[in-house]
Amino acid sequence: MNLLKGKQYLQHNLQQHYEEIKAFKKKKDFINSPFYTQHKDQIDKVINGLEWDNTIANELPKDELRIVSWNIERGKKLDAIISYFKENPALSKADVILAIECDNGMGRTNNRNVAKELAEALGMNYCFVPSYLVLGKGAMGETDHTTQNTTALHGTAILSKYPIKTAKSVSVPPVKEVFHSSEKRLGCKKGIVVQLQVGDKSLAIGAIHIDMSSNAKDRAIQLNAILTALTKANIQLIGGDFNCHTFNVRKKGELLFQLINKFFTVGFRGAIEHYMTPELKFDKPIFDALLKQNFDFETYNDRKKGTLYFDINDLLHNDKAKKFVPGFLLTILERKLRPWNGCVPLKIDWLAGKGGQVSKAQTVEKPTINGELLSDHNPIYIDLKI
């Protein structure tokens, strides 16, 4: 665990080499190259480092904390997100924020340091852990810009009105080699674990963005890595984007098999219902991992509202969806989803914990400012009695 004193920012001079690194077709060739030998220490320091500003002093004890988890979709609409946190009656009371999908020096988000700017605007401490050094413009659907990356980092952050005593970057077992993906990157998926002290109570909090290209077993293994890394404390809590969408989207063949299996085991309507109850069958391993550690997820979540929407109207025009889902299946789905007007909710963002008592668990549906949707995910929050 790192003791967080003052401020520390992640900086490097690798920008001039991004194209040279991208020219390597295979990761093993890059690792064995003279270039990697020369720059290895700097690369490792960046992608395995931590960034923080822990200069906000607030020792005022509280009996109840509001904890928010929100996948803010890179921070593409950061100014509006900041305004929403300030103006929304629920989010404006946040004491701790688990900020999932934060860019730091990415051209797709105008090279802004998302976690830093969000924390400064809200008057909070923060710690950011990068998962990847991103060598290109971004993922599919994010490359229609001409802004070059600077720091080129993407990861997860935890913000707190209270001082962050310690923090740790936690690597989780990878499900694919991202150097060989369409969005070429260095690094691996990481979560973050911090410890806070509020009055006489210690809190250990973990945040994770589980890999989308995973199966149920993979997702459970990644979550368990964060659970295991949590420090001992009066209250332990974990949250983030669990990506428990009940599918394995790594390969088209596996996806097709799952669709057929669902059709014969639970039927189409049953499969739709399981989007909101992934713990019952298709993503049971994740929730078994939580229960094994005596973590409560039922009272920590609003079970009536989804946190992401499967909208066939968007998917029909989405190149990324077409990459994973055969065209004929999209046509069938369009017809089958007409009773839901083509749009169904999924519960993939979660909070879970032990040692505290939840008095309220809510979902903020479709956060918008002036009719503009701020993220593809809904924020969730709890009021935690400590």
Check residue 119 and give its pLDDT.
Answer: 98
Q: Which amino acid is at 346?
A: L
Among 25-34, 251-260, 284-293, name the one with the lowest average pLDDT. Answer: 251-260
Tokens representing 144 are: 């229609």
* Mean pLDDT of all residues in 183-208: 97
Q: Which long-range contacts (CB under 8 A, 24 or more apart) does 297-303 make?
A: 297/350, 297/351, 297/352, 299/358, 299/361, 300/350, 300/351, 300/352, 300/353, 300/358, 300/361, 300/382, 301/347, 301/350, 301/351, 301/352, 301/361, 301/380, 302/361, 302/362, 302/363, 302/380, 303/276, 303/347
DSSP secondary structure letters along 116-140: HHHHHHHT-EEEEEEEEEE-SS-ST
**Closest Cα to residue 129, out of 4, 227, 244?**
4
Indicate whether 29 pLDDT > 80. yes
Q: Could you give the C-alpha distances from 366 to 84, 242, 316, 378, 380, in angstroms and in order?
A: 12, 19, 21, 6, 11
Among 82-91, 187-196, 254-263, name the one with the lowest average pLDDT. Answer: 254-263
Average pLDDT score, the chain: 93
Beta strands 190-198; 235-241: pairing state: unpaired
Indicate whether 256 pLDDT > 80. no
Q: Would you list the domain boundaries of the chain?
A: 2-244+283-307+347-385
pLDDT band at 290 (very low <50, low <70, confident <90, very high): very high
Domain 2-244+283-307+347-385 has CATH 3.40.190.80: no
pLDDT band at 336 (very low <50, low <70, confident <90, very high): confident
DSSP H or E segment with residue 236: strand 235-241
Q: Tell me what percent of the residues of the chain surpass a pLDDT of 70.
A: 96
d(CA 133, CA 154): 7
- What is the reported pTM? 0.95
Indicate whether 239 pLDDT > 60. yes
158, 127 Cβ separation under 8 angstroms: yes
d(CA 328, CA 346): 23
Higher-pLDDT residue of 325 and 184 is 184
Check residue 14 and give its pLDDT.
Answer: 97
